[in-house]
């Protein structure tokens, strides 16, 4: 009976972790309000525009999770999902995807005009795209396409040092 105790503890821990995790997905129509997703304490803010139907976006989710985990409260990530651009898309599917990927940082389910979002972030609509800002909204860096986890962590660390 004692041999089964470690298994039972591991199983219960895994079960509780699965049950208690919930993605933070917020519907939003106005691009200018995306800034409100970030905590005031964040000195560096990372915005990633993505969609579940975008293959490189899906592939980089574990890297984004690792980037988020690499920093404390001085760096905050937020995703902006463009899934609503596809007719019939539902926020529940995006929430389920984020839960499955174990993404803890907040995400916006963008329901506004895609051109307005592209104008706001000054990009051509190609995703994924990641932009890094200081707390005042000054753009510090951007990357078009799939991120490299280690290079991005190093770059964000460098940008954080500059903002100190």
Residue 12 pLDDT class (50, 70, 90 cuts): very low
Whether 19 has a pLDDT exceeding 80, the answer reads: no
Average pLDDT, the chain: 90
Whether 128 has a pLDDT exceeding 50, the answer reads: yes
Whether 66 has a pLDDT exceeding 50, the answer reads: yes
Q: What is the C-alpha to C-alpha distance for residues 118 and 111, in angstroms, rounded to an integer? A: 13
Yes or no: say if 101 and 143 are a contact pair by the CB < 8 Å rule: no
How many C-beta atoms lie closer than 10 Å to residue 10's C-beta?
10
* CATH topology assigned to domain 22-163: Glutaredoxin (3.40.30)
Residue 57 pLDDT class (50, 70, 90 cuts): very high
In tens, the pLDDT along 85-110 reads: 999 999 999 999 999 999 999 999 99
Residues 6+ apart with CB under 8 A from 25: 81, 91, 94, 95, 98, 106, 107, 108, 109
Helices marked H in the chain:
4-20, 55-69, 91-101, 114-121, 149-163
In the three-class reduction of DSSP (H, G, I as helix; E, B as strand; rest coil), residue 123 is classed as coil
At 22 the pLDDT is: 81
Over residues 64-86, mean pLDDT: 97
């Amino acid at each position: 009976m004692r041999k089964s105790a470690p298994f039972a503890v591991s199983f219960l821990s895994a079960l509780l972790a699965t049950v208690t995790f919930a993605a933070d997905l917020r519907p939003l129509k106005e691009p200018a309000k995306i800034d409100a997703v970030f905590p005031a304490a964040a000195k560096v803010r990372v915005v990633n525009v993505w969609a579940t139907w975008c293959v490189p976006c899906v592939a980089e989710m574990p890297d984004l999770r690792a980037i988020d985990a690499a920093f404390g409260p001085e760096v905050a990530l937020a995703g902006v999902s463009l899934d609503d651009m596809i007719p019939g898309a539902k926020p529940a599917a995006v929430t389920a995807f984020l839960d499955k990927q174990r993404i803890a940082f907040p995400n916006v389910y963008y329901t506004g005009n895609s051109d307005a979002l592209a104008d706001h972030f000054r990009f051509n609509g190609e995703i994924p795209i990641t932009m890094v800002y200081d707390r005042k909204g000054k753009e510090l860096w951007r990357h078009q396409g799939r991120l490299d986890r280690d290079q991005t962590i190093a770059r964000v660390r460098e940008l954080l040092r500059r903002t100190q």
